[in-house]
Structure 1
């Protein structure tokens, strides 16, 4: 599969802008992967109830609130098997984010498809969340995700691909 930047002249303004946009999305994916992996690793060593209490304390959420009760009850119910399953799921998710980030950094078409599909999967959930409650954070997350999905859609559907063999160096350092 061809890269979305193969047809561009290396060093051109359009080439640099597209590479910069792809690398920005790549960094976001890599950061998500690191954060989820750190959370997964910390679940192995930290007691879930203690972590939930510290999280609520950090956010200044009273333990008397309904959300706090739910979170603390969930943390208490986590068994070792459930923790391992959660950790495994988080590691798989992180691995996907790392692969996507690497592929986007190198302007690979397969990574653009992953970014398009994985971003689009979240859009209905984000719309439902906005329909339930509009906050600045929810709007920002939705708009960033929508912009990424639209950009990846544009790259994969509308940007012409260069025919012929793909060179080893795609003009991306």
Structure 2
């Protein structure tokens, strides 16, 4: 099947492929993160690893955010490793599928990218309004740009 974006401007094809690369990177990141978590859990040191990480970035483990993170890590240890692996595998498979589809100019992938980006926008906007900052603004801006890019791609023939 020919590349459906062949009639699209070159900058749009390159931009969509950049998004495809980023989606693949997110899939790889999740796989590596879960492998690291499962390895640390198997070795029995997930809590200790989280405490050491908090200390490394000079956070006191009893402060609010580090404490909440440590509670999350402790709860994570109660979840069966197979469940964590299954959810991570599904997420990574979706990201890899979306990446492949975007790279090859598939229309369904542009829809998937638009929808999966749009889902987060209300939460990102709320976060920016309640905790304004450069990172929150950048995340919202990038996702708005990705959504706009996908809308442009979907308006192209093919």
Structure 2 length-normalised TM: 0.86
Deviates more, 1:141-150 or 1:43-52: 43-52
Farther off after superposition, 99-108 or 140-149:
99-108
Q: 1:113 to 1:33 in 2, by over 3 A?
A: same
Bigger radius of gyration among the two: 1
CA contact (8 A) 2:21 2:99 kept: yes
Per-residue deviation at 1:78? 2.9
- The CA deviation at 1:34 is 0.8
Root-mean-square deviation (Å): 2.1
In the alignment, the residues of structure 2 paired with residue 58 and residue 2 of structure 1 have an alpha-carbon distance, to the nearest angstrom, of 51
d(CA) in 2 for partners of 1:58, 1:145:
31
Aligned residue pairs total 154
- TM-score (norm. length: structure 1): 0.79
1:34 aligns with 2:28: yes
Give 1:138's aligned residue.
136
Q: Per the alignment, in what secondary structure is the counterpart of residue 59 of structure 2?
A: coil
Task: Note if 1:160 corresponds to 2:157.
Answer: yes
Q: Structure 1 residue 82: deviation in Å?
A: 4.0
SS at match of 2:29: helix
5+ long unaligned stretches in structure 2: none
Question: In structure 2, how many angstroms separate the alpha carbons of the residues matched to 1:133 and 1:49?
Answer: 28
Q: Which runs of 5+ in 1 are unaligned?
A: 9-13, 162-173
Worse overlay, 59-68 or 120-129: 59-68
Which of 95, 100, 103 aligns to 2:101? It is: 103
The whole-number CA distance in structure 1 between the counterparts of 2:55 and 2:4 is 46
In the alignment, the residues of structure 2 paired with residue 125 and residue 3 of structure 1 have an alpha-carbon distance, to the nearest angstrom, of 34
Deviation at 1:60? 2.8
Q: Go from structure 1 to structure 2 and tell me whether the alpha carbon gap of 1:132 and 1:46 turns closer, same or farther (over 3 Å shift).
A: same
- Matched with 1:7 is 7
